[in-house]
């Protein structure tokens, strides 16, 4: 969610007026200006939850010098953008009607990550390293989504646009029904049943590229499942934390084991991304 210019302007002016009225002793006007500022702050500040977490971390590192403080704050702003679906997937959104599968598959993953992070930071043993672990997953998955769009673009160009209509129809179904993985699997199966069965040199090229697309799609799906499991695990841990002390039968949370699971999930998706590797696409060889 973006901060609008009027919110910044009105928030700054109301704060300045509140200070001025307080100094002047005009308490009624001060109360009105303060109420306006708090209302705007309540709208804006929740959008920068991760940035504020890193701001607190920056203040605790002031002994390292201004460069370290600024770098920590900048990292928090980047993390905040990464956990905002519209901003994290911005580079994947080519235009409203032409966003490819990379955008459609990545946005729900970011939403899961944002939900997971919202729960994680409410845990008593939360650390900013947990945010960095989730961010590593999201970066890897965004790279995979970018590769998926590159593959689709190459397939569309190499077929003279023959498969573009099919992909767009499937994307439209995703937008209306929300069943994105079943639609993505349908498109992949269709490509394997047509392009991958071509004969000759171009058939070899299409089989290689379609197989690479299958690898990327599978890695993205595994990443989506992993992010969903992280969110579910975080919700479970939060509920156990709330029950601690109120029920003798509730077992204590193993903090170290919980962190190990989170790190292993991050390493799993990173390994998948590295396994897919760089996608080197070129035009099919001429006969």
DSSP per-residue string spanning 156-207? HHHTTTTTHHHHHHHHHHHHHH--HHHHHHHHHHHHHHHGGG--HHHHHHHH
For the chain (length 287 residues), average pLDDT per consecutive 10? 70 85 87 86 70 71 73 76 83 70 90 88 80 85 91 89 78 65 87 85 88 91 89 87 60 65 72 58 48
pLDDT for residue 287:
40
Kindly state the tokens that stand for 193.
């049943």
pLDDT for residue 51:
74
pLDDT for residue 145:
92
**Dist. CA 137–CA 79, nearest whole Å:** 12
DSSP per-residue string spanning 18-70? HHHHHHHT-HHHHHHHHHHHHHHHHHHGGGGHHHHHHHHHHHTTGGG-HHHHH
pLDDT for residue 52:
67
Please, what sign has the CA dihedral across residues 84, 90, 92, 96? positive
pLDDT for residue 109:
92
pLDDT for residue 46:
64
């Amino acid at each position: 969610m973006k901060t609008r210019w009027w919110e910044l302007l009105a928030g700054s002016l109301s704060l300045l007026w509140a200070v001025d009225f307080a100094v002047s002793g005009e308490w009624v006007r001060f109360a009105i200006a303060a109420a306006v500022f708090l209302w705007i702050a309540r709208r804006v500040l929740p959008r920068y939850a991760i940035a504020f977490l890193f701001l607190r971390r920056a203040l605790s590192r002031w002994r390292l010098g201004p460069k370290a403080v600024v770098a920590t704050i900048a990292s928090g702003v980047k993390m905040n953008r990464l956990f905002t679906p519209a901003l994290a997937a911005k580079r994947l959104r080519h235009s409203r009607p032409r966003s490819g599968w990379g955008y459609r598959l990545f946005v729900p993953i970011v939403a899961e990550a944002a939900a997971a992070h919202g729960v994680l930071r409410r845990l008593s043993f939360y650390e900013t390293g947990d945010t960095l672990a989730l961010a590593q997953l999201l970066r890897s998955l965004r790279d995979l989504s970018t590769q998926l769009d590159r593959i689709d673009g190459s397939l569309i160009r190499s077929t003279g646009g023959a498969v573009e209509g099919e992909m767009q129809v499937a994307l439209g179904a995703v937008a209306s029904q929300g069943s994105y993985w079943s639609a993505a699997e349908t498109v992949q199966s269709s490509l394997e049943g047509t392009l991958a069965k071509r004969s000759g040199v171009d058939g070899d090229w299409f089989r290689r590229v379609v197989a690479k697309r299958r690898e990327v799609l599978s890695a993205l799906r595994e990443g989506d499942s992993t992010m969903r499991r992280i969110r579910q695990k975080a919700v479970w841990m939060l509920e156990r934390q709330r029950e601690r002390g109120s029920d003798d039968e509730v077992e204590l949370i193993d903090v170290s084991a919980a962190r190990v699971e989170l790190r292993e999930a991050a390493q799993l998706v990173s390994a998948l991304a590295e396994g897919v590797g760089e996608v080197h696409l070129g035009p099919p060889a001429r006969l």
